[in-house]
Copies of this chain bind each other. A is one copy, B any other.
Amino acid sequence: MIQTAIAGQTHSLTERYATVRALSLALAAPLSDADATVQSMPDASPTKWHLAHTTWFFETFVLRDHVAGYALHDERWPFLFNSYYEAEGRRHARDRRGMVTRPTLNEVRAYRAHVDAALVAALPTLPAAVQDLVALGCHHEEQHQELLVTDILHLFAENPLEPAIWPAPRKVPVAMPGPIGWIEGLSGIVEIGHTGDGFAFDCEGPRHRALLSPHALADRTITNGEWAAFIADGGYREARWWLADGWNWVKTNAITAPLYWEERDGGWTRFGLDGRRAIDPAAPVTHVSFFEADAYASWAGARLPTEAEWEAAAAHHDPAGGNQMDTAGPVEPRPATGPAFFGPAFFGNVWEWTGSAYRPYPGFQAAEGAVGEYNGKFMSGQFILRGGSCATPRGHARASYRNFFYPHQRWQFTGVRLAKDL
């Protein structure tokens, strides 16, 4: 799972641990006990569960397994806060997480404090391999931070009162982006996958050669304004743009627009962390499914990038650039504000659906033990997304990062970059 240890960097690991753990609490700060408890759908989890599960990860795989004399904070809680690790035994049904009103949010905060104290105390003495587990836990928690944000947004969207979690940020008016420009990609053999320097999840490797055909990628993602034109042109009403499964999904669920979009007084609005507001036509469209992304690309006479094309293009851009999450607040995709749109835009704003199914790279081997369940067992039925979003903690994303969701899912900050054959 971790390609290269970062041992010997205890001090910075302690700092990193503290930073990561603090952001989770900051994200939960505006929430009530009830906000943090309710589960809006089986795919989403309560904030309280995210806070506790990430803590359980450290408690289980670091403190319980590697710190002599550590006593579990509560012996009954692992049943509640294990997510899907079969090797860790029975666990609470995923779709019933929202039933657990107790422990309370404050009790979960106390759990976090308890584990934090034990872990920070133990950290300097842990062997390198266990410090790697701590580093893994930090990355794991960052993943859950993004989920926490998107899950709480989904919950608040279910409230007919449409409350805002944070006040809206001041908006800076920006010009509409010009037409899409096309940037020719590399062709022939390229190398993709994690290089071995620094942290990566197991599914990002092994680094390997991939073969690219002549192609070009769009120099930006699709905007809300462009998506409104797709809708106006009957995009959701014509089967010919859609994959068969996608068309069935559209019909069954009466899909007519991205998630959280509603027409009010003749114009499109979206629900966000700052409540319901008019869409910004210049901002990247988000909360679209793979099916929608693919249909849009067909309508536009283009296609989605493969993950290898995307990674080859993004490899030399700064993965910490662009609109990513720095602090707790009402993140959302923002329009580009300058000529550097293309560069940073590979990272941040929206996860970009690729046309690649999530499958193992050549030579992939799942890690042994419970941690080995991390990614490999999800390698069917899902599609790869790349690049990170406005809700990805800055520093979490990499060019080799492989995010994955089912083709109908769209409660993440997901968007569309077009590609075409040359």
Q: Which residues of A contact B (CB under 8 A)?
A: 32-38, 40, 76, 79-80, 84, 86-87, 92, 96, 98-105, 155-156, 158-161, 163, 189, 208-211, 213, 215, 239-240, 242-247, 290-291, 294, 303, 355-357, 359-360, 362-363, 377-381, 383, 407, 421
Task: List the B side residues contacting A34 at CB < 8 Å.
Answer: 32-34, 36-38, 101-102, 104-105
Q: Are B160 and A40 in contact (CB-based, < 8 A)?
A: no
Task: List the B side residues contacting A189 at CB < 8 Å.
Answer: 189, 211
Q: Which of B38, B291, B362 contacts A98 (CB 8 A)?
A: B38
Q: Are A381 and B76 in contact (CB-based, < 8 A)?
A: no
**Cβ contacts A to B, 13 pairs, < 8 Å:** A32-B33, A34-B34, A34-B36, A34-B104, A79-B160, A80-B160, A84-B244, A101-B159, A209-B211, A242-B377, A244-B377, A303-B360, A363-B421
A213 to B96, CA, bound (A): 44
Distance to closest chain B CB from A380 (angstroms): 5
Distance to closest chain B CB from A388 (angstroms): 24
Distance to closest chain B CB from A383 (angstroms): 8
A240 to B88, CA, bound (A): 12
A36 to B33, CA, bound (A): 10
Q: Are B362 and A359 in contact (CB-based, < 8 A)?
A: no
Q: Are B155 and A243 in contact (CB-based, < 8 A)?
A: no
Q: Are B244 and A378 in contact (CB-based, < 8 A)?
A: yes
Closest to A213 in B: B362
Q: Are A99 and B155 in contact (CB-based, < 8 A)?
A: yes
Distance to closest chain B CB from A78 (angstroms): 11
Q: Which of B87, B98, B246 contacts A380 (CB 8 A)?
A: B246
Given the known interface contacts A79-B160, A99-B40, A161-B80, the answer about A239 and B32 at a Cβ–Cβ threshold of 8 Å is no
Additional pairs, 4, CB under 8 Å, beyond known A100-B159, A211-B211: A32-B33, A32-B102, A243-B378, A245-B378
Task: List the B side residues contacting A421 at CB < 8 Å.
Answer: 362-363
A98 to B244, CA, bound (A): 22
Task: List the B side residues contacting A291 at CB < 8 Å.
Answer: 380
A49 to B297, CA, bound (A): 35
Task: List the B side residues contacting A362 at CB < 8 Å.
Answer: 213, 215, 421
Q: Are A380 and B359 in contact (CB-based, < 8 A)?
A: no
Distance to closest chain B CB from A34 (angstroms): 4
Closest to A152 in B: B101
Closest to A242 in B: B377
Task: List the B side residues contacting A355 at CB < 8 Å.
Answer: 359-360
Q: Which of B161, B239, B357 contacts A86 (CB 8 A)?
A: B239
Distance to closest chain B CB from A289 (angstroms): 11
Q: Are A245 and B33 in contact (CB-based, < 8 A)?
A: no
Distance to closest chain B CB from A284 (angstroms): 23
Given the known interface contacts A34-B34, A38-B37, A211-B211, the answer about A99 and B158 at a Cβ–Cβ threshold of 8 Å is yes
Task: List the B side residues contacting A40 at CB < 8 Å.
Answer: 99
Q: Which of B161, B209, B211, B379 contacts A76 (CB 8 A)?
A: B161
Distance to closest chain B CB from A268 (angstroms): 22
Given the known interface contacts A208-B213, A362-B213, A362-B421, the answer about A101 and B245 at a Cβ–Cβ threshold of 8 Å is no
Given the known interface contacts A98-B98, A161-B76, the answer about A379 and B243 at a Cβ–Cβ threshold of 8 Å is yes
Distance to closest chain B CB from A369 (angstroms): 10
Q: Are B38 and A101 in contact (CB-based, < 8 A)?
A: yes
Q: Are A102 and B35 in contact (CB-based, < 8 A)?
A: yes
Task: List the B side residues contacting A32 at CB < 8 Å.
Answer: 33-34, 101-102, 104
Task: List the B side residues contacting A359 at CB < 8 Å.
Answer: 355-357
A43 to B246, CA, bound (A): 18
Distance to closest chain B CB from A378 (angstroms): 5
Task: List the B side residues contacting A102 at CB < 8 Å.
Answer: 32, 34-35, 159, 161, 163
Task: List the B side residues contacting A247 at CB < 8 Å.
Answer: 86, 377
